[in-house]
Amino acid sequence: MSKKMITALLASVQLAGLALAGPAHVAGAARPWLNRRLSAGERAALAVRAMTQREKLQLVFGYFGSVMSGTQYVVPRGARMGSAGYVPGVPRLGIPAQWESDAGLGVATQRASTDAYRERTALPSGLATAASWDPGLAERGGAMIGAEARASGFNVLLGPGADLVREVRGGRDFEYASEDPLLTGVMAGAEIRGIQSEHVIAVLKHFAFNDQETGRTVYDARIGRTAARESDLLGFELAIEQGHPGALMCAYNRTRGHYNCQNRWLLRTVLDGDWGYRGYVMSDWGAVHSTVRSALAGLDQESATIFDPHPYYGAALVRALKDGRVPQRVLDEMAERILRSMFAVGLVDHPIKPGAHIDFAADRAVAEADEQQGIVLLKNAGEVLPLARTVRRIAVIGGYADRGVIDGGGSSTVFPVGGNAVRGLGPKDFPGPEVYLPSAPLGAMMGQAPQARFRYASGRNLAHAVRVAKWADRVVVFVTQWAAESRDVSLSLGAQNALVSAVAQANPHTVVVIESGGPVLMPWLGQVAGVLETWFPGSGGGTAIARVLFGAVDPSGHLPVSFPASPGQLPFRQVPGSGLPSGTPFTVDYSREGAAAGYKWYQVRGFKPLFPFGFGLSYTRFAYRGLGAALEHGRLVVHFTVRNVGRRTGAAVAQVYVGAPAGRWAAPRRLAGWRRVILAPGAARTVSVTVDPRLLAVFDTAHQRWVRTPGTYTLWLGDSSAHLPRSVHIRLPAWQHPARWPVHADAHH
């Protein structure tokens, strides 16, 4: 805010009868920034004006909130032990501290904590929630973890993640949403709204192109500007518009040659300039490389400075301000952005009162509902599922299904209520341990089928597993793949593949339940009758899985990522940088796929994936009719009718894809929208989808605008990116729009 505007604002506040005071005297009504009638921007500008230089510097300098074994690091007294971060407040001005906790799936505890872990509720993984294609669900999940964060003493939650799943072996894909920018933006935006409804700042991360873990602190993501704007950056753009996150976290890696946290193009040109983002940018833990460059590029807050080689925003920033390399107005703006978000999200007006009661049963029900909708039925030969309640003998094999469901590792690890159900697995140190949430599928299945006899085999002894499988009428075999921050994963389930094959050979009525961070290869697919992808199923996971297996809930999840048939189908046969000595810089060259990430890549290459993006079976069937498209007030609106032609109630996820005239885009088709429709048997509904004009355009970097070529566009309708039985053409006129997208009046507050 300019000096002139502040003077005018101060005058108007004085006129409104509010006394003003300088930095030395700010008591009671003398703190106009506490006036809730003013906008967040106005309040931030007033508060900054009342701040001393020291107080401003304090706002941009973060502390780690946990002990660091093997170091002399002393956690500041105000921090919440075992947390990711802490930024002291300015009590004399009524500005609270920022207490930061990971992450997008629930309230985590830092692994290095010497204190007891916080036991909290874990949502299913980001991919699971996205597989529901239900933003309402994501919002409810966000509100649940936001409330747990608040009750745990945190007012900043370091999530959700919105990087595109370009690399299906990515160790953190489970924290992200999908390979498509629209699905990602909508789901992440909804989660942000949920978190912030609890007056907790959501931090959208990791900005940007942190699409793999291998060499994450050193690699350089190479991608053209246009392709970047139409892919990963579009996901972030939509998430910001729909969620208005208080903060963004810049990622460890470089993009187009520059570290993200000092990347002028990412932070100034795109985020600040084109998108008009008004919140603040915080660094990832140890992602800062400079003082002056970072400050000038738009990094507002250095997180947990102990992770950086120098405290760049400490004494070095003071010196840079003194000698003018960082102008004073830059520091003022940094402080103002942080404060604006604190006011906008409600951190100042709704102070945290740690120790509030958490209704864990209610929160677990939220996680369970999420998982129920996120489970994807991939195969159901001979209608082996749902398991009839009359089945007499059921074998449950493997995956610690007698104890719990697996969860992802790293900073986002939520330590579950009731403790880790399987101890001693995975690395002792970060990103371990492997955590199993104590929601056992076996017990829940027994609850669903009281008439049946159950036998469990751990799967470690193949001969025993085969005997149990032979005894049973139906076999459910669980396989797990642990994934974690800081390392990427293999697509192979390893020795578990032999277990599945042996069991399937012993009993053809075998159903495989996969708990994984992302796609896996299924060499046994032809041998088994059924397959469920359940992702990392979250705190209510066991119950959700059992309910889907027995048909208490119809499976309605659809894949938010393509499952490759082999690594040869991926843009990179091996994760780039694999095998390089740690710390060796390298390039991840996205120029071949460009904006054609995920299903778009498969379409360009003519590859048939194992399972395509958008795919998911149901216990019922749906038919799509009456596809029509029209321009209404300049917006493309698509109408169609969905009918449930099966015998059970279920939810269809009707997907609309669009293609440009004469294949002018990076890929033949883009997801343009969808509707999730719940229908009773025989029921039908006519619905419409309004297409975001950017999805019909290309980004013109020379003129910083979206441009649509005139011509005949094709719209397809179906239930996956590869099954689109209906299509229609529409002629669209030329259209263009500046990069700055008009957002809601209170956008960015």
> Are 176 and 138 spatial neighbours (Cβ–Cβ below 8 Å)?
no
The reply to whether 301 sits near ligand BGC by the rule CB under 6 A is no
- The least CB distance from residue 374 to ligand BGC, in Å, is 22
- The least CB distance from residue 248 to ligand BGC, in Å, is 12
CA geometry: angle 643, 646, 647, nearest 5 deg: 125
* Of 307 and 456, CB closest to ligand BGC: 307
- Short-list 470, 477, 608, CA closest to 531: 477
DSSP secondary structure string for all residues of 30-98: G-GGG-TTS-HHHHHHHHHHT--HHHHHHHTB-EEES--TTS-----TTSPTTEEEEE--BGGGTBPPE
**Binding characters for ligand BGC, 411-430, by CB under 6 A (x = yes):** x-------------------
* Of 158 and 239, CB closest to ligand BGC: 158
* Of 312 and 550, CB closest to ligand BGC: 312
CA geometry: angle 141, 144, 146, nearest 5 deg: 105
Count of residues that bind ligand BGC according to CB under 6 A: 8
Instruction: Identify residue 746 by its one-letter amino acid code.
Output: D
The reply to whether 162 sits near ligand BGC by the rule CB under 6 A is no
By Cβ distance, which residue is nearest to ligand BGC?
Answer: 411
Binders of ligand BGC in range 707-726 (CB under 6 A): none
- The least CB distance from residue 513 to ligand BGC, in Å, is 29
**Binding characters for ligand BGC, 21-60, by CB under 6 A (x = yes):** ----------------------------------------
> Are 207 and 260 spatial neighbours (Cβ–Cβ below 8 Å)?
yes
Which helix (H) or strand (E) covers residue 628, if one does? strand 622-632
Binders of ligand BGC in range 91-120 (CB under 6 A): 102-103
- Short-list 483, 544, 560, 611, CA closest to 130: 560
- The least CB distance from residue 287 to ligand BGC, in Å, is 8
The reply to whether 150 sits near ligand BGC by the rule CB under 6 A is no
* Of 123 and 158, CB closest to ligand BGC: 158
> Are 256 and 223 spatial neighbours (Cβ–Cβ below 8 Å)?
yes
Question: Cα–chain-centroid distance for residue 501?
Answer: 34
* Of 85 and 404, CB closest to ligand BGC: 85
- The least CB distance from residue 110 to ligand BGC, in Å, is 7
Q: What are phi and psi of 105, to 5 degrees?
A: -110, 0
* Distance (Å, whole) CA 217 – CA 476: 41
- The least CB distance from residue 275 to ligand BGC, in Å, is 21
Assigned token pair, 605: 């290459």
DSSP state of 527: G
* Of 260 and 603, CB closest to ligand BGC: 260
* Distance (Å, whole) CA 22 – CA 42: 17
- The least CB distance from residue 247 to ligand BGC, in Å, is 11
DSSP secondary structure string for all residues of 252-296: SSEETTEEGGG-HIIIIIIIIIIS---SEEEE-TT----SHHHHH
CA geometry: angle 194, 199, 203, nearest 5 deg: 65
The reply to whether 336 sits near ligand BGC by the rule CB under 6 A is no
**Binding characters for ligand BGC, 608-627, by CB under 6 A (x = yes):** --------------------
* Of 236 and 599, CB closest to ligand BGC: 236
- Short-list 254, 305, 277, CA closest to 85: 305
3-state secondary structure of 605: helix
The reply to whether 205 sits near ligand BGC by the rule CB under 6 A is yes
* Of 240 and 553, CB closest to ligand BGC: 240
Assigned token pair, 67: 């002990």
Crossing angle, helix 40-49 and helix 3-15, to 10 degrees? 100
The gap between the terminal CA atoms of the chain, to the nearest Å, is 14
- The least CB distance from residue 250 to ligand BGC, in Å, is 11
The reply to whether 123 sits near ligand BGC by the rule CB under 6 A is no
> Are 684 and 672 spatial neighbours (Cβ–Cβ below 8 Å)?
no
- The least CB distance from residue 344 to ligand BGC, in Å, is 21
* Distance (Å, whole) CA 475 – CA 388: 13
- The least CB distance from residue 277 to ligand BGC, in Å, is 19
**Binding characters for ligand BGC, 76-95, by CB under 6 A (x = yes):** --------x-----------
The reply to whether 191 sits near ligand BGC by the rule CB under 6 A is no
- The least CB distance from residue 269 to ligand BGC, in Å, is 24
- The least CB distance from residue 208 to ligand BGC, in Å, is 13
Contacting residue, 285, 400, 478, 699, with ligand BGC by CB under 6 A: 285
Contacting residue, 45, 158, 164, 422, with ligand BGC by CB under 6 A: 158
- The least CB distance from residue 205 to ligand BGC, in Å, is 6
* Of 411 and 556, CB closest to ligand BGC: 411
The reply to whether 284 sits near ligand BGC by the rule CB under 6 A is yes
Binding residues for ligand BGC (CB under 6 A): 84, 102-103, 158, 205, 284-285, 411
